[in-house]
Structure 1
Amino acid sequence: MSLDSEIDALTHSHVYLGKRHDENARRTLWVVALTAVMMVGEIVAGIAFNSMALLADGFHMATHAGALGIAALAYRYAKRHATSGRYSFGTGKVGDLAGFASALVLGIVAIGIAWESAIRLVDPSPVEFGEATIIAIIGLGVNIASALLLGHGHDHGHDDHSGHAHHHDHGHEKDNNLRSAYLHVVADALTSVLAIAALLGGRYLGWVWLDPAMGVVGAIVIAVWSWSLMRDTGAVLLDATDTKLESEIRTLVEGPGDVKIADLHVWRVGPGAHAAIVSVVGASRATICERLRPVHEIEHLTVEIR
């Protein structure tokens, strides 16, 4: 084999997009459209019924529409630049970047809801219970439809048994961009459910305080979801070590007792895709690649022999 042929055999792409990337992008676009329509409907209804509650919820939904729009743009950007040489490890983490930004928006929404609810607890304002309840029910229907569209899809990869141990994930791929979109519509659904309960309680039991109280509860739950998403996406963006994968690699490489790992780096480069740099003493590159062949999460493996 000539040198050029050997180099060609070792050359590989750095496209680490999830298998359902295009499908998830289409789902997200549908949800953006549904959310935008509902947002306009709530704002128009709020003006028509002179209801501040509906206007507030309409503008609140606008922030979710913006965050969902970020998710949709992230899918498009990642696909468009997937083969660009500008990104050393591809665009697989664009979704995590969008997810982190979306989580920030979700956190701001939670703070806004909590602040407005606290003000209304201290200084209650009149609520158009009948009209607001109808719109809240319609909004809940839109949220449920959006959640069903986004779903809980799991991606599956395929094997690539090349000489450089370039594998695809057989397990579940966590798409944090889709997760962020899903959390936004679920957060909206939660606020709709709490709003309906509060509006019915206010209309039939006279519990005006229930509306802002439910607002505080909803804000706390949404804040927890926001923090969870920021924590997970932030770890990916900072190339945090996947400890389970690191442990698996150490066991496979050092298990027989004839090799020692001098240095090891494992990080995520896309949904279900990881890169690893393994520096070893006491073995050939071919031996290490063969031992790590079962680790299908590794998409990009670099082996250093010391």
Structure 2
Amino acid sequence: MHQHNGHNHSHRDLKGRNLIISILLNVLITVSQFIGGIISGSLALLSDALHNFSDVLSLLVSYIATVLSKKKASTNKTFGYKRAEIIAAFVNSATLIVVAVLLIIESVERFMDPQPIGYNLVIWLSLLGILANGFSVLLLKKDSDHNMNMRSAYLHLLTDMLASVAVLVGGLLMKFYGLFWIDPLLTVLIAIYLIYMGYDLLKASTRVLMLFTPQTVEIQQIVTAISQLPRIKNVHHVHIWQLNEEEVHLEAHIDFTDDISLSEFDIILDRIEEVVHKYGINHVNIQPEFGKCDSKHLIVQD
């Protein structure tokens, strides 16, 4: 299509700044909980430190992707780095699921063999995790609603905050009731939630990376709408894919009823762009044909 969406660079800079703040906070939590876990003998704190360390790595991936997505296209990178944030979302959602499985395995082992720990240190350091991750969650909440990369970072932080809440609850129950088994139970519940949220994001990012047609787009409806335009005989060899969260591309061959001129084709192309824009498609590439002997199937394997 001839028009392109503009980008708010100050908004991207704000995203980068918020990610940097979140990274620094998570480094602080990771180091504190790792040292605290060793001193107190708490596997819960060490587990939460591991979770926070995975957050640091995922946030770094998200930040790098945000920086790369600002880079302009070139002759050897004609799309630029527009898919960097989708790759980051895929990596982060996959690590969410892996960390969740590791937490479940560790929780089962801990449930079978609960051990007394220094609960006071656990309580204070879990509070630190709740406050720091809670602040990071608030920083990324707005961007998470419309950006897959930021949503993956947001989910990492949200689930880690919930994990810290579980550690806090476990610490309080251990202190006042001696219920050392409650911590692994809560961790398992949080890990299941982690898998549930991570799977949806993994599926969504995989669809984009595999060039699948967006779920909101009905190809047959679009083809029918284009076919109703004057002088169009057939629409075939259609590809619709999502480059990133802002761009949906349509590529198709169109068979015309007569041998039209280029200026006439440009007028029809403008009409086609108007039609498909209603379906969320903002980049169009049409191959015009007249009397060409090729497959007229809607979908053709290249």
**How far did residue 215 of structure 1 move?**
1.2
Sort the Cα spacing of 1:276 and 1:11 in 2 relative to 1 into closer, same or farther, 3 A.
closer
> 2:273 is matched with which residue?
292
Question: Is the CA contact (8 Å cut-off) linking 1:107 and 1:226 kept in structure 2?
Answer: yes
Determine the structure 2 residue equivalent to 1:161.
none
Q: After superposition, where does 1:67-146 map in structure 2 within 5 Å?
A: 67-80=58-71, 82-146=72-136
1:84-103 deviations in whole A, cap 9, x for unaligned? 22223332111111111111
Return closer, same or farther for 1:201/1:47 CA change in 2, 3 Å cut-off: closer
Mapped contact 2:37–2:46 kept (Cα < 8 A) = yes
Tell me what 2:227 maps to: 254
| Distance of 2:230 and 2:174 partners within structure 1 | 70
| Residue in structure 2 matching 1:273, options 247, 272, 296 | 247
Tell me: higher relative CO, structure 1 or 2? Use CA pairs within 8 A at least 6 residues apart. Answer: 1
* C-alpha separation in 2, matches of 1:221 and 1:84: 41
1:214 aligns with 2:197: no
Identity among equivalent positions (%) equals 23
TM-score by length of 2: 0.82
Runs (4+) off by over 6 Å: 10-13, 15-19
The reply on whether 1:36 has 2:33 as its aligned counterpart is: no
1:53 aligns with 2:44: yes
- Equivalent AA in structure 2 for residue 305 of structure 1: P
**Match for residue 166 of structure 1?**
none
* 1:271 match: secondary structure: coil
Render the CA deviation track for 1:52-111: whole Å, top value 9, x for unaligned: 43233223211111111111111122323x322222333211111111111121111101
Q: 1:44 to 1:112 in 2, by over 3 A?
A: same
SS of equivalent to 2:179: coil
The structural deviation recorded for 1:256 is 4.9
Tell me the amino acid that sits aligned with residue 187 of structure 1.
Answer: T
- One-letter code aligned to 2:17: R
Alpha-carbon displacement from aligned partner over 1:107-135 (angstroms, at most 9, x marks no partner): 11101100110001111122322220121
How far apart, CA to CA, are the structure 2 residues paired with 1:66 and 1:16? 30
SS of residue paired to 2:121? helix
- Preserved contact between residue 47 and residue 103 of structure 2 (Cα < 8 Å): no
Question: TM-score, with normalisation over the residues of structure 1?
Answer: 0.81
Quote the Cα distance in structure 1 between the aligned partners of 2:57 and 2:48. Answer: 14
* Structure 2 portions without partners, runs of 5+: 258-264, 290-302
Q: Using the alignment, how far apart are the partners of 2:171 and 2:28 within structure 1? A: 23
Matches within 5 A, 1:129-208: 129-153=119-143, 174-208=146-180
Based on CA coordinates, which of the two structures has the bigger radius of gyration? 2
Q: Distance in 2 between matches of 1:243 and 1:110?
A: 28
5+ residue gaps in structure 1? Answer: 1-9, 155-171
Aligned to 1:238: 210
Q: Would you say the 8 A contact 1:16–1:91 is kept in 2?
A: no
For 2:70, the aligned partner's letter is K
Q: How many residues align?
A: 277
SS for the counterpart of 1:292 is helix
Contact 2:249–2:284 (Cα < 8 Å) also in 1: yes
Q: C-alpha distance in 1, partners of 2:283/2:60?
A: 31
1:239 Cα deviation after fit: 0.6
- Larger displacement relative to structure 2 (195-204 or 27-36): 195-204
Q: Which moved more, 1:274-283 or 1:185-194?
A: 274-283
Q: Is 1:228 the equivalent of 2:200?
A: yes
Letter in 2 for 1:130: N
- Give me the CA root mean square deviation: 2.7
Counterparts of 1:243 and 1:211 in 2: how far apart (Å)?
Answer: 40
Separation of aligned partners in 2, 1:84 and 1:150: 30
Measure the CA separation in 2 of the matches of 1:265 and 1:285. 21
